[in-house]
Amino acid sequence: MFDSDSAVRIDSNRPVQHTPRFLADRMLGRVTRYLRFAGFDSVFTMNRPELIDRAVSEGRILLTRDRSVAAHCRRVENLEWFCPETNDSAEQFILIYRRYELWRYRELKHRCMKCNGQLQGISPEQATEIVPAYIAGSVDGFMRCGNCGRIVWKGSHWRAMQIRMNQWVDRAHQTPR
Ligand SMILES: [Zn+2]
């Protein structure tokens, strides 16, 4: 299982490397949000013409399901790109997780699933100023997005997401490469 604060389970002693950052096309919006939950800096764009240039200039791994973009990618130097060959967003996550060995990156903080901002823990007292008292008193694990200011907490939605992600991580390790 995940520990309380890290977004991705720690199960490797390999040294931490440069943490991958992702740029996805509009067909991969859902898996982009999963990657944010797992702590990876991940954005997506509706602007197809800018995909490749932006990935290269920002040093992001380009994720695309668009065959014509993929055909273009093959001719671009200094571009890391990947086309997850499935329409299922959970399977996409598993393929990306395995390809980039995402278990190697430790102590990542969860990112806001809406905007990609980093989530910072806040105290229940700080949360009480913002969320209804019946919520602040009944759950813990409050975090605030450093970008959009959204408050999230480890309630039932959060736990459900974490359980699903644990299952995907287990499958990523089990499936033959
Ligand atoms: Zn946010």
Kindly provide the b/e burial profile for residues 127-145, where b requires at least 16 CB atoms within 10 angstroms of the residue's own CB.
Answer: beeebeeeebeebebbbbb
Tokens of residue 77, six digits:
């130097």
- Between the CA of 77 and the centroid of ligand 1 the distance, in Å, is 33
* CA 81–ligand 1 middle distance (angstroms): 26
DSSP state of 111: B
- The domain segmentation of the chain, as residue ranges, is 22-110
| Domain 22-110 part of CATH 1.10.3470 | no
Residue 111 CA to ligand 1 center (angstroms) comes to 8
106 with 10: CB under 8 angstroms? yes
Question: Is the C-alpha dihedral spanning 27, 33, 36, 37 positive or negative?
Answer: negative
Distance (Å) from CA 5 to ligand 1 centroid: 18
* pLDDT, tens digit only, all 177 positions of the chain: 344 455 554 444 444 458 999 999 999 999 999 999 999 999 999 998 999 999 999 999 999 999 999 999 999 998 999 999 999 999 999 999 999 999 999 789 999 999 999 999 998 788 877 777 777 777 778 999 999 999 999 988 999 999 999 999 999 998 665
156-174 and 29-37 helices, crossing angle to 10°? 100
